[in-house]
Amino acid sequence: MRIHTGEKPFKCEVCDKLFSVSGHLNSHMRTHTGEKPFKCEVCYKRFSTSGSLQRHMRIHTGEKPFKCELCGKMFSMGGSLQRHMRIHTGEKPFKCEVCNKMFSMGANLLIHMRIHTGEKPFKCEVCNKRFIDSGGLSRHMRVHTREKPFICEVCNKMFSGSGHLNRHMRIHTGEKPYKCDVCNKRFSVSGSFNLHMRRHTGEKPFKCDVCTKTFSDSGALNRHMRIHTTDKPDGYLILNTGFAPGVLSDFFSTDTSKTQ
């Protein structure tokens, strides 16, 4: 009846949390005492509740009793199925209070918040570079190990990240999932699509810190910076004349065969 009445007569003397049945209070008390009376006989890991042990055992048995009715994917825990369902429903119940971006999982929100706080708790022990999540660190470590675990099944080319492999596969499939809504041109990678869109919008987000000239892509800015630095390709004469790089080298050619 306490389900209907909402009565919770059992109170935790430590944190004042209330419970409808004494068993729930007993389980809760273990969060304060640290007691873990339930042990896995396979790996000897211990748990505070029998339910936690039962869920853990599915790691060893491979049991996945929770099935998505939309795509048939199976899960070992009900919570995992609930989070998965948000892929189909588009539900994003977790909101960033700083920029209002929404997320389908609380863990993704926690990682996102580090963009605002600057926190980077994962550190590379080789070069001391830091990352906001463990995945970023794992991908970075392949720079040092040169590991390339992702293999193209068509041409056997190897990649350090799954994203790189996915983009590469579009060479074989011809897939171009990014479409310009202005001119209907399609692109295989988002970077090319974003660069193309700036031709329509006129956006030039890359700015020269010396003369404040702006550019639509970083490559154009890097080439421009050679005007201000001594980092010029061999054979180029760059002057403030309006001529393209390389043109003046032909103009000032000393080929005497042409003058005789």
Query: Are 186 and 180 contacting, i.e. CB atoms less than 8 angstroms apart?
Result: yes
Q: What pLDDT, on the 0 to 100 scale, is given for residue 123? A: 95
CA dist 223 to 57, 98, 232, Å? Answer: 59, 36, 9
Each residue's pLDDT tens digit, 136-151:
999 999 999 999 999 9
CATH of domain 2-61: 3.30.160.60
- Looking at the chain, which residues constitute the CATH 3.30.160.60 domain(s)? 2-61, 74-145, 150-201
Which CATH superfamily includes the segment(s) 74-145?
Classic Zinc Finger (3.30.160.60)
Q: What pLDDT, on the 0 to 100 scale, is given for residue 5? A: 85
| Residue among 260, 235, 240, 239 at smallest CA distance from 250 | 235
- Predicted model pTM: 0.50
Each residue's pLDDT tens digit, 196-205:
999 999 999 9
Query: Are 56 and 42 contacting, i.e. CB atoms less than 8 angstroms apart?
Result: no
pLDDT < 70 stretches in the chain: 230-260
Task: Give domain 150-201's CATH architecture.
Answer: 2-Layer Sandwich (3.30)
**Mean pLDDT over all residues of the chain?**
87
